[in-house]
Amino acid sequence: MPKLPGIQVVRSSIHGYGVVATRDFAELEEIAEVDGVAWREDEPVDDRYSLWIVDGIYMDMVDQTRWINHSCAPNCEIEADIDENGNAWARIVALRPIQRGEELTYDYAFPLELAEPCHCGTPNCRTMIIDPDELPRYQKLMARRRSAAARRQQRGTGTRG
Ligand SMILES: [Zn+2]
């Protein structure tokens, strides 16, 4: 696949590989169009690098953009939709001015079912990669699990929570 101009995959200080800007970008400037393969919820695919496009439609990212890391304080966002021909599209847009050399990030905003620990290291890190709207539901779930574990302990039937 051709290399996208303006971005480069590098080893990341956040996690694994990441993507940095190789030039400055202005606020709201398009950084890259995502090349990807659209799929429906009921199709079996490799969805590890998939974007949610609209209800039931996802796009597996197949270019360098798939290496962009999550951050709870991102400098980019994804715009995505279905065009008039029914084709899914997505693009990476700068949320603020970005300088050459900065690592690009966007908020993965995973649903509760897919939430995983976050290591973005930003001051307001949600500790989990999760949609902010799902956070109250997540915290309630964790509180329930903690009290269930505590009850098991009290009865002496639990080993480890
Ligand atoms: Zn975080």
Per-residue pLDDT tens for 90-109? 999 999 999 999 999 999 99
Indicate whether 159 belongs to any domain.
no
> What is the 3-state secondary structure of 71-124?
CCCCCEEEEEEECCCCCEEEEEEECCCECCCCECEECCCCCHHHCEECCCCCCC
Q: How many domains does the chain have?
A: 1
Indicate whether 116 belongs to any domain.
no
**Ligand 1 center to 11 CA (angstroms):** 18
Indicate whether 48 belongs to any domain.
yes
State which residues form the domain around 89: 7-110
**Ligand 1 center to 121 CA (angstroms):** 6
Mean pLDDT on 58-73 = 94
Surrounding residues of ion ligand 1, Cβ less than 5 A? 72, 118, 120, 125
Indicate whether 21 belongs to any domain.
yes
8-state DSSP, 1 = -
Indicate whether 54 belongs to any domain.
yes
Indicate whether 147 belongs to any domain.
no
Indicate whether 68 belongs to any domain.
yes
Residue 157 confidence (pLDDT): 58
**Ligand 1 center to 19 CA (angstroms):** 17
Residue 18 confidence (pLDDT): 96
**Ligand 1 center to 45 CA (angstroms):** 27
Each residue's pLDDT tens digit, 139-158: 999 899 998 888 888 876 55
Q: What is the pTM of this model?
A: 0.85
**Ligand 1 center to 70 CA (angstroms):** 7
Mean pLDDT, the chain, whole residue set: 91
**Ligand 1 center to 159 CA (angstroms):** 31
Closest CA to 60 of 89, 90, 39: 39
Mean pLDDT on 70-75 = 96
Structure tokens at 92: 């990476």
8-state DSSP, 139 = H
**Ligand 1 center to 124 CA (angstroms):** 7
Examine the pLDDT at 53 and tell me if it is beyond 90: yes
Examine the pLDDT at 3 and tell me if it is beyond 90: no
pLDDT above 70: percentage of residues in the chain:
94
Indicate whether 1 belongs to any domain.
no
8-state DSSP, 133 = G
**Ligand 1 center to 7 CA (angstroms):** 22
**Ligand 1 center to 84 CA (angstroms):** 35
37: CATH: 2.170.270.10
Sign of dihedral through CA atoms 42, 43, 45, 47? Answer: negative
Each residue's pLDDT tens digit, 98-143: 999 999 999 999 989 889 999 999 999 999 999 999 999 999 998 9
